[in-house]
Amino acid sequence: MIKQSIIAITTIGLLSITATAANTTVCAGCHGANFEKSALGKSKIVKDLSKEDIMKALHGYKDGSYGGAMKGIMKGQASKLTDKDIEEIATSIAGGDKKAEDANKTAETNATVETNTTKADANKTAEAPKK
């Protein structure tokens, strides 16, 4: 009984991971594995868009209110997506929490460097020979 439960939980977990991966795999067919391509030479490069812009575009494609030359193709793709799918895809493409973490680390590093530079300057001033 326990073995069956573990198998069931593992299977459900793998299916949910596969579902999200499949969504972005479909996108990568035109936009590139890292979303670095202009789809069919006509779209924006998706990896350069913010999460909010990606979500806005996907919702717009889904309801038919967004898009230019790629509108017909993208409406067919986006119409299958739930709001949760759209958010997960946008987070994945835009780098999600990793980009936010990297930005926070950069800000912390810059603050530390600035503090250490200020301390070093203060020490140099204090140690400088008086004229």
- For residue 75, give Cα distances in angstroms to 30, 71, 120: 14, 6, 58
116 vs 8, higher pLDDT: 116
Axis-axis angle for helices 71-78, 2-31 (nearest 10): 170
The CA-based angle 62-63-69, given to 5 degrees, is: 70
Q: Identify how many contiguous H helices and E strands the chain contains and give both numbers.
A: 5, 0
115 is written with which tokens?
């503090």
Please compute the mean of the pLDDT values over residues 15-41 and round it to a whole number.
74
| Residue 80, domain extent | 10-94
Long-range contacts formed by 118-121: CB under 8 A, 24+ apart: none
Please compute the mean of the pLDDT values over residues 21-30 and round it to a whole number.
75
> Is 59 among the domain residues?
yes
Question: What CATH number does residue 53 fall under?
Answer: 1.10.760.10
pLDDT in tens, 72-93: 899 988 999 999 999 999 998 8
Q: How confident is the model at residue 27 (pLDDT cuts 50, 70, 90)?
A: confident
The answer to whether 59 and 71 are in contact (CB under 8 A) is: no
97 vs 123, higher pLDDT: 123
pLDDT in tens, 32-44: 989 999 988 888 8
Same domain, 113 and 75: no
Number of domains in the chain: 2
Same domain, 88 and 108: no
Quick one: pLDDT at residue 112? 62
64 vs 16, higher pLDDT: 64
- The pTM (predicted TM-score) of the whole model is 0.57
